[in-house]
Structure 1
Amino acid sequence: MAALSGAPTAHTAITAYLAGFGEEPGYLDFARFGPLSRAVLAETAAQQEALTRARPGAYDRLQHGTARLAAAAAAVTGFRADQVVFQPSTTHGITQAVYGVTGPVLVSAADYPSLPIAVARAAELLQTVVPVPLPTSEGRVTPAGVREALTPSTAAVLVSAVDARTGHVADLDGIRQVIGDRLLIVDAVQALGAVDLPWTAADVVACGGQKWLRAGHGAAFLAVSDRAAERLTPALSGIGGSGGDALPWDEVPPVRRGADALQLAHADEAAAARLAAALEDLATAGAREVATLVSGQAARVIALADEFGLPVVSPRAALERAGLVVIEPLPERLTALTAALHNHGVSVTIRGGRVRVSPHAGTQEETLSMLRTALTAYSQAVRPVR
């Protein structure tokens, strides 16, 4: 059957998505920050124009960013739109969820610091949360490790969907099967836009737009299942969780029910619209299709590392990795590799003796050629003199 008039085919949708990349050649650091997409830039320009000129009714028309964000996040994650609320960052969303838990929370000290810090602070300040160390396998959270740490009183498990150091993709379905009806709280910022996961296996998903979604800082969302909304205490609920500008003055209203309660201040509607544009772009292209392209780009980086004898310590299996390729050269060769990448204009993250390379679906051939040139220079620099 022919496509309906005006409806993009899968090919044209992914082509349009790829055309939205505009970063400089050599950029391979999307796991750190994603340069803004053209869809986001267009949305930002429209918002700035409206706010700058302030025509009658312009501000009121801008107050639809959060509703648009909720619909876009729902389309990508599988949650309902009424289960999604705006947050200023992933960390804000994780903190909202963790501060609402009562009981022991499993979290790995090896996970991204926002996660164990949120649990530790909630335990110190509220004394309703009990941190429980979550064992890992080479720094990776696994269903087996979760099963080992579970007790009858465990209230929640907190994990990153993709580990920022190892590039390991968490088995959300496997963890869900292990924990039963306990809450599963997931940090999705290193995953959404790079890997297609069963997000509704989680009870809470927090994700900011500054990495693979290419929407910039200051905009995130929190998706909360009905079960989580019933169990979480809205400890950090403020005017944003009580009705916002619609509130009557001279009285303190009750906290709203559901996901809406997990908000502190008024939402940044312009930031919400920016993130909505990025999520709409992803949904139109297809999260699975984009993830397949990202995986293919990561495979090419792995092949280059192998060609030049650089040890890859991130997962090699396509189902276990996201867009991160982590290389760990010999300690005495790290400086030479760092210099070669810098001198040839290749942007990566270098931390803790490791080099993290993170291409995206739209990474150009010129960028991969620059990486090859840098690795060639590195190889020549460390080649033994005869």
Structure 2
Amino acid sequence: MTAVDEYAASFSEEPGYLDFARVGPIGGIVQAEQQGQQALLSRARFGSLDSLDSQDERMRDAVSELTGFPSDQVVFQTSTGQGLMHAMFGLTGGVALSPAEYPSVTYAAQRASESLGVVTPLWLETDHGRVTPGNLREQLTSTTVAVAVSLVDSRTGYLADLEGIRQVIGDRLLIVDAVQGFGVVDAPYEVADVVVSGGQKWVRAGWGCGFMALSDRASDQLVPVWSGADGSEGDGESLDVVRPPARGAAAFTVSNPDPIAEARFAAALEQIAVVGVSDIRQRISGTVSQIIDIADEFVIPVGSSRDETERAGIVVLQPAPDQLTVLVASLHNHGVTVTTREGTVRVSAHASTNGETLDMLRAAFLSFATLSQG
């Protein structure tokens, strides 16, 4: 059994689950980590809480291993949205982004603009929601200080060309919402200045955990507007002094992180690192190709890219408007879990997606085809 086979076998989601872009069911390692840390907290035996205190460093080291950012430039976040809020509120100047980005990105930019008046969103025209180096180049202005983009677009499944975008934007900050690819895409994170992700999707660590990683340039340029006692300089011996924010990523936090959430996140990332992101991606890519082949077999239009270099784990189906309800009902009746949004059906597979699940998908498509022809 290969390492990726062992990885896949550590999960136990029910057959028919194809909705990892919404949430990735946790596996045995994360469950065991959660139970073990909770047991420590419940007993609070003398000296045992030191283990909880060590989870922050463990989490940062695990993120560093997968992103290449130094661990001292990583800070825990409870969600992608919170990390993006920190980044956008810390900017001064124009930020270029697509209005079709996931709302965590657009809301952060708009809220920062409305609240502080120092950030100006530049709403990009895109290629059907895809931000590419080509369509970005001509829209940047002299006042644009940052570009925000999803590593993998949640609606189209498009895998952004981060290296191409970096070449186009020069020394502007590149802010990446990585949640739809982190853990399954071997991305060049080193070209980004801000990388933010949660752990509830492809990492499969559950809700309430994530990170923000900053380059030296981002640390110098972003202002830690929302920074609490835990993000301040010094060791906090005096409770009567409000200390200035710490330098670097550590400033972008408000209070002590949840050590059990950090432990879950670290355990999931450590498991991924042992297997290797590239091997996990290769397994997922093969499954995505099978899903596209099954859709083609039943003449269901595929709106997401067929090019392996432009996709991750998401397949977007675009049935005719009058056939959407029939397709959704067929999937439901065969126990296939997907996301339906804005006239499309989003199918997302992981390394643990097996032949039984694909057989259920094929059966659902067969029912759809039969009903559509009738």
Mark yes or no: TM-score above 0.5: yes
The structural deviation recorded for 1:351 is 1.0
Aligned to 2:64: 74
Q: Runs of at least 4 residues of structure 1 off by over 6 A? A: none
Q: 1:188 and 2:178 equivalent?
A: yes
- Name the SS of the counterpart of 1:140 in structure 2: coil
In the alignment, is the contact (CA less than 8 A) between 1:112 and 1:164 conserved in 2?
Answer: yes
Aligned to 2:194: 204
Aligned to 1:135: 125
- Name the SS of the counterpart of 1:337 in structure 2: helix
Of 207, 210, 225, the match for 2:215: 225
In the alignment, is the contact (CA less than 8 A) between 1:34 and 1:210 conserved in 2?
Answer: yes
Aligned to 2:316: 326
Aligned to 2:249: 259
Cα RMSD of the aligned pairs, angstroms, is 1.2
CA, structure 1 residues 244+191, in 2 after alignment: closer, same or farther (shift >3 Å)? Answer: farther
Aligned to 1:289: 279
1:288-367 residue pairs with structure 2 within 5 A?
288-367=278-357
Aligned to 1:33: 23
Unaligned runs of 5+ in 2: none
In the alignment, is the contact (CA less than 8 A) between 2:229 and 2:243 conserved in 1?
Answer: no
The structural deviation recorded for 1:298 is 0.7
- Name the SS of the counterpart of 1:159 in structure 2: strand
- Counterpart amino acid of 2:130? R
Of 124, 141, 144, the match for 1:154: 144
CA distances 1:175-217 after superposition (whole Å, capped 9, x unpaired): 0001111100000000112221111111000000000000000
Partners of 2:356 and 2:297 in 1: CA distance: 18
The structural deviation recorded for 1:153 is 2.1
Aligned to 1:45: 35
In the alignment, is the contact (CA less than 8 A) between 2:84 and 2:108 conserved in 1?
Answer: yes
The structural deviation recorded for 1:58 is 2.0
In the alignment, is the contact (CA less than 8 A) between 2:184 and 2:280 conserved in 1?
Answer: yes
- Counterpart amino acid of 1:264? V
The structural deviation recorded for 1:15 is 2.7
CA distances 1:151-187 after superposition (whole Å, capped 9, x unpaired): 1221100111000000001110000001111100000
- Name the SS of the counterpart of 1:373 in structure 2: helix
Aligned to 2:165: 175
Of the structure 1 ranges 193-202 and 87-96, higher mean CA displacement relative to structure 2 is found in 193-202
TM-score by length of 2: 0.98
CA distances 1:223-255 after superposition (whole Å, capped 9, x unpaired): 101110011011111112115974421111111
In the alignment, is the contact (CA less than 8 A) between 1:244 and 1:266 conserved in 2?
Answer: no
Of 238, 243, 249, the match for 2:239: 249
Of the structure 1 ranges 130-139 and 315-324, higher mean CA displacement relative to structure 2 is found in 130-139
CA distances 1:245-295 after superposition (whole Å, capped 9, x unpaired): 744211111110011111112111110111011111111100111111111
TM-score by length of 1: 0.95
Partners of 2:114 and 2:255 in 1: CA distance: 24
Unaligned runs of 5+ in 1: 1-10
Partners of 1:41 and 1:247 in 2: CA distance: 36
- Counterpart amino acid of 1:329? P
CA, structure 1 residues 274+311, in 2 after alignment: closer, same or farther (shift >3 Å)? Answer: same
Partners of 2:228 and 2:65 in 1: CA distance: 27
Partners of 2:221 and 2:281 in 1: CA distance: 33
Of 212, 219, 239, the match for 2:229: 239
